[in-house]
Amino acid sequence: MKKILLAVMLMIGVASVSYAGTATITYTEPSTNQAGNALTDLKETTVYWKQDAGAEQSIKVPASALSGGGVITKVITIVDPPLCGSTIVTAQVSASNTNVTNFESVRSGVVSGTKSANQTGCTVPNSPFNLTITVQ
């Protein structure tokens, strides 16, 4: 009985293994507003990202200073990248101020990166050959 229970526990453990990767997003906060004046009220930036055709996710990053200009690096986790093949991560960033209106800027342009799987054990076999069919 103990051996069966151990075998079931091992199977559950193997079935729940997930593979993760990371994507590093780096950007520079704005230091001026749309009118060209120096920022004095930068509250945060928001990183929007998604993996392949999945749902968009976001994370708010506090401003480095009210005047902005900081170089920000954010590491996100890629959930279950493919064992064979690749996954594409896309990202955009916006900025918000601290005043009552809490205006959010237009998002930056989209950037993307590709995570390729470790191709060990991912070779595809050749197609079958000498195929015949007899119809009577």
For the stretch 86-130, pLDDT in tens is: 789 999 999 999 876 668 999 999 999 987 766 666 666 777 878
The per-residue pLDDT for 78 is 83
Rounded to the nearest 5°, which phi and psi values hold at 20? -130, 155
Domain at 17-30+39-116, CATH homologous superfamily: Immunoglobulins (2.60.40.10)
Express each pLDDT in 37-73 by its tens digit.
999 999 999 999 999 888 999 999 999 999 999 999 9
pLDDT at residue 117 in the model: 67
> Quick one: which of 15, 29, 130 has its CA closest to 70?
29
- Domain spans, the chain: 17-30+39-116
Cβ contact 94:105 at 8 Å = yes
Q: Tell me the whole-structure pTM to 2 decimals.
A: 0.72
Q: What angle do CA 92, 95, 97 make, to 5 degrees?
A: 165
For residue 118, the model assigns a pLDDT of: 63
